[in-house]
Amino acid sequence: MLLLPVRLTHDLAASAVAALGVMLARETATGVVADASALQQFDSSALAVLLACRRQVLAAGKVFSVRALPDRLRQLAGLYGVQDLLPAV
């Protein structure tokens, strides 16, 4: 499971992708879940981070999904047309 931080904004996005990449490298399951339950402060960069994680997971031949995506972030995903790329668990 990939655990997203409490705060995920533009200034933290690059380091979050790097940290999640390290977590992903340790992940042995065939399905990888990004847990967004801790997210409290975020902007659209959180979507970019999730999509970057998704790309890494799919490149590793695994299945990607998201758990506990905050409603506001789900709305942003819909606005940008990427909601289908972030399937819920």
Q: Which sequence spans correspond to the domains of the chain? A: 2-85
Q: Taking the CA of residue 35 as centre, how many other CA atoms within 13 Å lie in the half-sphere pointing to its CB?
A: 9
- 80 has pLDDT over 90: yes
User: Angle 45-59/10-26 helices, nearest 10 degrees?
Assistant: 20
Cα–Cα distance measured from residue 88 to residue 12, given in angstroms and rounded to the nearest whole number: 24
Q: Which residues are registered as beta bridge partners of 7?
A: 41
- pLDDT tens for each residue of 15-39: 999 998 888 888 888 999 999 999 9
- pLDDT tens for each residue of 43-69: 999 999 999 999 999 999 999 999 999
- 2-85: CATH number: 3.30.750.24
pTM of this structure: 0.92
* Residue 53: predicted pLDDT: 93
Encoded tokens for 86: 């972030």
Q: 67, 87 in Cβ contact below 8 A?
A: no
